[in-house]
Structure 1
Amino acid sequence: VADHIVNPSTARPIPHPVGTAIVRVGSLTAAMTGANRSALDAAGIDYATVHLHPGSHAGYFPGAEQIHLLMHIRRSDGLILGAQATGIDGVDKRIDVLATAIRAGMTGPDLIDLDLAYAPPFGSAKDPVNMAGMIAENVINGSLKLWYADQIDESGFLLLDVRGPDEQDEDPVPGALCIPHTEVRDRLDDIREAAAGQPIRVLCASGVRSYLAYRVLRGAGLDAANLSGGLLTLRATERLAELQPA
């Protein structure tokens, strides 16, 4: 898989297809490029996956649809290894950009400076591809520690839900300490007492508010990690597990 993407002796991309594909299922579009987790695991590559759920264009302009995007990067240097996305609008554009980035041997942080077409009906000032790059850079430089949906049943940590009360009531997370992200700074003592020396795993709906809470916790010297993709990714992972044969 690694040789398929980049030649280690020259660090230059090999001119092979990277497996870009797209399909329409009803109103939903699903697309991918590069390697997926199964291929990366089989190849023994040390990688990280970033999940995000941005809008297809500026949220204040009517008609924005959510894109569910994930990108795999090599931990050692941030090289982009693969990406997948689903959504109603804007999926093809982002996967095409990422397919080009893989072919060019770009890293996740390289995506931050891509000057992509912007106007409110078509995108956001920070495009989802730019945002994926920002998250990747934070992972590579160590300012963001992620945990993943398939780790939810592990033990030995405090689960901290920083969504609002209405969200927590509508879709509760069993065993979680619930403190809205706007109250985390004022309730650090409560969190520290509840953690009792254990690591803290933070979550919210999509990973944005939990990132803010994570930064507060880290600033206070607490061992914390942010759920990649938030509850949206967690619930999707649970639904996928239910569909797997027993």
Structure 2
Amino acid sequence: MKKIVVIGAVAGGATVASQIRFYEKEAKIVIFDQDETMSYAACGMPYVIGGEIKEADDLLATTPEEFKEIRNIDVHLKHRVTNINRQQKVVEVLNLETQQTFEESYDLLILSPGGTPIVPKTTGLESTTMFTLRNFSDMKRINHYITTKKPKSCVIVGAGFIGLEMAENLVQLGLTVSIVEKSHQVMNILDIDIAEVIEKELQDHGVTIYKNNFISNVSNRNIDLDLGEKLEADFILMCIGVAPSTDLAVNAELTIGKTRGIVTNEYLQTNDPSIYAIGDAAENIDFITGDAKRVPLAWPAHRQAYIVAKHISGEKIPFKGLLGTSICKVFSLSVASTGLNEQTLIVNQIDYTSVSQKSLSNAGYYPDHSKIFLKIHYDPSSRKVLGAQVVGGKGVDKRIDVLATAIYAGLTVDDLQALELAYAPPYSAPKDPINMVGYRAK
């Protein structure tokens, strides 16, 4: 009987354990996680804080008790794995409530440790109220603070997914919000012209953006920026990003890659074939270039979990790489991307041509329609689609999904005109914006 130990009980860990049980009815499966909750929908946390989702517990998919009863999987929360002994195939575990340490043996080990919020060293940061938003406990702390202290203002550091989602939700709560971003644009995964649309949307809703900037000094409510601006805020929310949690892997001499993630092969095995790595801490490859890539989002973690479960059960399904397909809501706009952006194409010296299309989401005579803007990069020789971005109101999600499918299938930009896409006035036009991109490509 196989004994499988999983480190981490959120998207990757809980999913891989559940899927292994589907294929391996007799295996003994044990999960350890240092947090107090498991299998929660982290992507929903900003919307709980903003009140869009009324009950925080709605984000909880299951409990250790349910996992044991339904799937016969043992889940130990508030347990931190402190060491991996690869030779003896045991992990050392610290019970955070009792402070007792014990060892757990394994035949196979799956690492899904996630990441740790990045908080830059800043003079005086300890003098103010500061939060990160990485787990369920962070969300509860922020919610409690907002409910009890009634803050009026916030400075968000970082203009990625979480930073922009939190900006929207805090504005909706009535707070004055500023964003400080070290780079020259919001959302670095976007081309600059797409990012500018998002910046205008933020500004139109009262969010002040300080680009090419960072916090140099903090004194209680007073915040100094590198370029000389002086801000005031009741609290700071750090949304710079997460560093992959690789301490266990490093100490176990597992290979760490260019993205600072744990290097894995096409079946998500590390350099130790008995140890797999999935989720935010795992380094994979880019679907298009084959270069090292790490995408800390939910879809990769779930896909990787499936591949690991299949591999353990004896079926080899290779992971073909990451496109980084993503979408974000920013007030009235949605913005989505897949594949390579312009900056990545330039840095990698990949020859490309771009085509843009401004359209309506659906028939203009139908009362519910919105503007959308599509931008597609493609190889001028092979004509294959290399990357795409879409921004606008309704219908952004369906267009980016078609484009991600086109890249995965190896379609050319010319093939887009031939796609037979669903049409009715509430949903599209006889020639969908995707079709129009194909017609317009030179």
Q: TM-score, normalised by structure 1?
A: 0.51
Do structure 1's residue 105 and structure 2's residue 413 form an aligned pair?
no
**Residue 325 of structure 2 aligns with which residue?**
20
Instruction: Decide whether the 8 Å contact of 1:6 with 1:105 is kept in 2.
Output: no
The one-letter code matched in structure 2 to 1:4 is F
Instruction: Decide whether the 8 Å contact of 1:29 with 1:89 is kept in 2.
Output: yes
Please, which of 83, 87, 91 is the counterpart of residue 392 of structure 2? 87
Paired residue secondary structure (1:53): strand
Please tell me whether Structure 1 or Structure 2 has the larger radius of gyration of its CA atoms. Answer: 2
Q: Give, in whole Å, the separation in 2 of the partners of 1:135 and 1:77.
A: 17
Give 1:77 deviation, angstroms. 2.0
**Residue 430 of structure 2 aligns with which residue?**
125
Give 1:6 deviation, angstroms. 7.0
Q: Give, in whole Å, the separation in 1 of the partners of 2:418 and 2:391.
A: 24
Please, which of 57, 77, 82 is the counterpart of residue 382 of structure 2? 77
1:1-48 per-position Cα deviation (integer Å, ceiling 9, x unaligned): x973278xxxxxx82121100000111100000000000001111111
Paired residue secondary structure (2:287): helix
Give 1:135 deviation, angstroms. 1.2
Count of residue pairs the alignment pairs up: 130
Instruction: Decide whether the 8 Å contact of 2:377 with 2:387 is kept in 1.
Output: yes
The structure with more strand, counted as a fraction of residues = 2
Paired residue secondary structure (1:5): coil
Query: Percent of pairs identical after alignment?
Result: 48
Paired residue secondary structure (1:98): helix
Instruction: Decide whether the 8 Å contact of 2:286 with 2:322 is kept in 1.
Output: no
**Residue 174 of structure 1 aligns with which residue?**
none
Cα RMSD after superposing both structures: 1.8
**Residue 77 of structure 2 aligns with which residue?**
none
Paired residue secondary structure (1:15): coil
Instruction: Decide whether the 8 Å contact of 1:57 with 1:123 is kept in 2.
Output: yes
Instruction: Decide whether the 8 Å contact of 2:327 with 2:337 is kept in 1.
Output: yes
The structure with more helix, counted as a fraction of residues = 1
Please, which of 353, 357, 371 is the counterpart of residue 52 of structure 1? 357
Alignment of 1:145-184 (within 5 A): none
Please, which of 316, 328, 338 is the counterpart of residue 33 of structure 1? 338
Paired residue secondary structure (2:391): strand
1:204-238 per-position Cα deviation (integer Å, ceiling 9, x unaligned): xxxxxxxxxxxxxxxxxxxxxxxxxxxxxxxxxxx
- Larger RCO, structures 1/2 (Cα 8 Å, 6+ apart): 1
Q: Structure 1 stretches of 5 or more lacking a match? A: 8-13, 140-246
